[in-house]
Amino acid sequence: MTKVTFKGEAVKMAGMLPVRGAKAPEFSLTNAALEDVGLKNFAGKRKILNIVPSLDTTVCAISARKFDAEVAKLKDVALLTISADLPFASKRFCDAEKLSHVVPLSTFRSPSFGKDYGVRIAAGPLAGLMARSVLVLDASDKVIHAEQVPEITQEPDYAAALKALA
């Protein structure tokens, strides 16, 4: 289990991040059209799960932009940016930033997602939000890359995530 901090202070996490080689747990998250979707909606595609605390923060916005630009160069890759943000706010952000490859998904109806994926912050000022993490799944939803960023205010390792898709 990765030790996670926020501005240097330890953060208590709920659950365990899926490990490389594991089958990713199914989920039900809410998209911008207020529809509940899961991994099955992206069947046959490789997936980047860009899990962030909130798109309304600088580092989360940067990661959405960087992954959007990189996924534009790839085929059959779904970029799922997952946060506790309301679907309206995520859609507004993606529209304003002209992010055409990001599929914003919200955990607001799915409190189990954070625990199932080991990304829910369990205590402290960010309790209930998701800790910055990146999972890359193959077309059969097997984890081929897993990173729980140790310091929430830092960006993920984009190169490592994208290399997993090569």
The one catalytic residue in 4, 60, 80, 130 is: 60
Determine contact, residues 114/85, Cβ cutoff 8 Å: no
d(CA 26, CA 166): 24
Determine contact, residues 127/119, Cβ cutoff 8 Å: no
d(CA 116, CA 133): 13
Helix (H, G, I), strand (E, B) or coil at 119: coil
State yes or no: is 94 an active-site residue: no
Closest CA to 37 of 46, 50, 28: 28
**Catalytic center residues:** 60
